[in-house]
């Protein structure tokens, strides 16, 4: 999932021709909220899988079943990057939610 797609989803135009009836999600490329939410859920699942793989590699290394530190470091780095990306997406959604809650009608 591309974080730029999430940023584009929340951009609105200030032109009078756009009016209040336009859907910023459709203007951003036709992505529906449902597809974005499903992508985020899949991303969380992938992050969880990578975290579990890193833990399994740590256990193998600690028990002496594996002496390959390269695989251990790769698994840990993948898990770290996935977690950082997931947190960044979560933060964007929270920022968007706060912005929506602060809007006046």
Domain boundaries, the chain: 32-102
- pLDDT for 33-74, tens place per residue? 788 888 888 999 999 999 999 999 999 999 999 888 999 999
Residue 13: what are its φ and ψ, rounded to 5°? -100, 150
Residue 17 gets which letter from DSSP? T
Give the integer Cα–Cα distance in Å for 16 and 31. 23
CB 89 within 8 A of CB 2: no
Residue 65: its pLDDT value, please? Answer: 92
- In three-state secondary structure terms, 15 is coil
pTM of whole model > 0.85? no
């Amino acid at each position: 999932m591309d974080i730029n797609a999430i940023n584009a989803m929340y951009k609105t135009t200030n032109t009078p021709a756009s009016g209040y009836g336009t859907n910023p999600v459709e203007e951003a490329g036709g992505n529906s909220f449902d597809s974005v939410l499903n992508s985020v859920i899949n991303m969380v699942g992938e992050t969880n899988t990578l975290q579990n793989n890193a833990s399994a590699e740590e256990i193998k290394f600690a028990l002496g079943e594996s002496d390959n530190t390269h695989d251990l470091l790769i698994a840990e780095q993948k898990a770290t990057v996935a977690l950082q990306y997931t947190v960044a997406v979560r933060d964007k959604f929270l920022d968007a939610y706060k912005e929506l809650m602060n809007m006046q009608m």
